[in-house]
Amino acid sequence: MFGIAARRDPAKGGRARGGPAKSGGPATVVHAVNVARVIDTIRGFGLVIVVVTVSLASPRPGSDSVHGLAIAVALAVATAAWITWLLSGPTGGRRRLSLVSLVVMGAAGGVLAGLSPNSPAVAVGCAACFSAGVRLRTEASLAIVAETIAGFLIAGLITGAPAGALLGYPFAFAGLWSVALTRRQFAVRAEQAEQMLAETRRAREAETHAAALAERARIARDIHDVLAHSLAAVSVNLQAAEGLLASETLPADNPELSKAIECVERAGTLTREGLVAARRAILALREDAAPLPDQLASLAAQYQAAGDTAINLTVTGEPRPLSEQAIQVAYRTAQEGLTNARKHAPGQPVTLALGFEPGQVTVAVENPLPPVGSNSPLAETGAGAGLTGLKERAALAGGTLEAGPADGIWRIDLTIPA
């Protein structure tokens, strides 16, 4: 009866209920499971079980004895802290509330386990130790584990808890905490991997965008050199031919001559219109590569929108048109400086300065060095060839580039003739 798979009867042409749906049939809707909600539900059931079992254990909470009254108080405090812990998330504005609830739950849970060692009251302290290990830094979570064990031992020794519980429960608290630390390490590594992936994706998008701009500039140059120049030359020759055909030395009553003049005039008009269209196409292609201050403002806005770094862009001097090579070198320098600041000094403010000086253009990127001992997950990424490439670009443009730390500030200075 059990375990027999449903099969299709060929005579009836039916389809097995457990088999795959035919092509073209209604699609099966798969609902995503909210893992966080399932975990919170399990934790809520755990609280109910602890309250019920502790209430039924001996001695019962609220009995006439001092022991029972202490269990009732500890159970009430632990229950309130557990509910607060469920309602507060690990991040966001409720982070402080979550920390306070874990501290209270650890202390109350340890005392409750010592007062009622024969019930599942130990689950409160275990939950506090495990959650602290996952959510908090090692020092803070260790403090919660220590207070949980201390509360349990004090209450257990006063009430005369069994020796097995006095020895075993502290190891349970510490063991769950160590497991939580391992889980936290995996979570931190996963977050760092996501950050590195996002940085790599943004860098690839920036390179693709720069390559597209370079390709558009190349196409614009080709159109200008080939099409625009050719049309301009044709227009000049057509005007010269029109002038020769309209010369007074040629008979004016020749119909073929009049037709030739009309064709030359029409060709000249079409050529001038084509020249205007070619210039419009060149301007459209080179639109993204024009004013350097606008490019740097857009670049700073992109980097500031992608993270929590404050970027201050300043432009001094009177902006003027620059060569394509100068724009590319200046843009690349600013891009590399912002990327290095994000990788090696995340969260530190960055100053990006563009200066139009007589005969030259300067670009400066500076940010405070990160505190000693700080660790950035992206600091080890990259091959370290970015600054070398920038110096080579600056040299090809006839300029210089200097980079390095000074007085607690990392600074990149570019100077190119323009």
pLDDT at residue 408, rounded to an integer: 85
pLDDT at residue 149, rounded to an integer: 92
Compute how many other C-beta atoms are within 10 angstroms of the C-beta atom of residue 5: 7
Structure-block tokens of residue 253: 């009553």
Low-confidence residues in the chain, pLDDT < 70: 1-36, 62-64, 89-93, 224-229, 232-233, 246-253, 272-290, 306-308, 373-385
Backbone angles phi, psi at 188, to 5 degrees: -65, -40
pLDDT at residue 240, rounded to an integer: 75
Give the single-character DSSP code of 90: S
pLDDT at residue 206, rounded to an integer: 84
pLDDT at residue 16, rounded to an integer: 43
Dihedral sign for Cα atoms in the order 261, 267, 272, 275:
negative
- C-alpha dihedral (203, 289, 303, 197), degrees to nearest 10: -10
pLDDT at residue 382, rounded to an integer: 44
226-to-99, 101, 222, 230, 282 alpha-carbon distances in Å: 70, 74, 6, 6, 12
Spell out the domain ranges in the chain.
35-161, 206-285, 290-417
pLDDT at residue 402, rounded to an integer: 92
Backbone angles phi, psi at 145, to 5 degrees: -65, -40
Q: What is the pLDDT of residues 16-40, one digit of tens each?
A: 444 444 444 444 444 545 666 777 7
Residue with tokens 């590195």: 196
pLDDT at residue 375, rounded to an integer: 57
Q: How far apart are CA 245 and CA 258, in angstroms?
A: 9
Q: What is the pLDDT of residues 328-363, one digit of tens each?
A: 889 889 888 888 887 777 778 899 999 999 999 999
Residue with tokens 């991040």: 91
Q: Which residues partner with 356 through β-bridges?
A: 361
Q: Which residues partner with 316 through β-bridges?
A: 355
pLDDT at residue 164, rounded to an integer: 86
Q: Name the fold adopted by 290-417.
A: Heat Shock Protein 90 (3.30.565)
pLDDT at residue 358, rounded to an integer: 92
246-to-98, 233, 257, 267 alpha-carbon distances in Å: 93, 20, 9, 15
> What would you measure as the largest C-alpha separation in the chain, in angstroms?
135
Q: How far apart are CA 79 and CA 83, in angstroms?
A: 6
- CA-nearest of 178, 124, 179 to 152 is 124
